[in-house]
Amino acid sequence: MAGRVLGYLFICEPPQQTIAEIGEALMASRSAITGAVTLLAGHNVVRRTRSAGQRVDHVTLDPRALDPTGFAGAVYREQAELARTALGLLKDGSSERRAMLEEGAAFYDFLAERMPALLAEWHEKRAALGHRP
């Protein structure tokens, strides 16, 4: 449902819609739309606002959705460290569980190393497209 809501918000006119309007357009229940909007808002993909004196919220795309916070290497370094801590706790654990944690730590180390470079590439691409810095 979240994908349907997001897709609709990309194309709807006006760009601000109420929960009821989204539900009607998508032929979905109010509770399904509310749940999807809550999920998307939690990830800064949509914004839910209410004008003074109004009793209904309006939902629109959140400009922060394009903010590349997921490229921060620190988050992945923390995940790698967490996996290594778990490895320390499972000294006598099965080799299968340890192998999974070892691979997880290596994967997060890889992401911590690569994500900042990808972000720099994206900034170059965005600038070449003439979009905001």
Give the span between the Cα atoms of 9 and 26, in whole angstroms. Answer: 11
Residues 61 and 82 occupy one common structural domain: no
Strand-pair partners of 49? 58
Rounded distance, CA 7 to CA 123, Å? Answer: 25
pLDDT at 133: 60
- What is the reported pLDDT for 72? 78
In a domain, 50, yes or no: yes
- How many C-beta atoms surround the C-beta of residue 33 within 10 A? 26
> Is the pTM above the cut of 0.85?
no
The residue range of the domain holding 85 is 69-128
Half-sphere exposure of 23 (CA within 13 A, CB side): 13
Q: What is the pLDDT of residue 20?
A: 95
**Are 84 and 60 members of one domain?**
no
Model pLDDT for residues 76-90, shown as the tens digit of each residue: 999 999 999 988 888
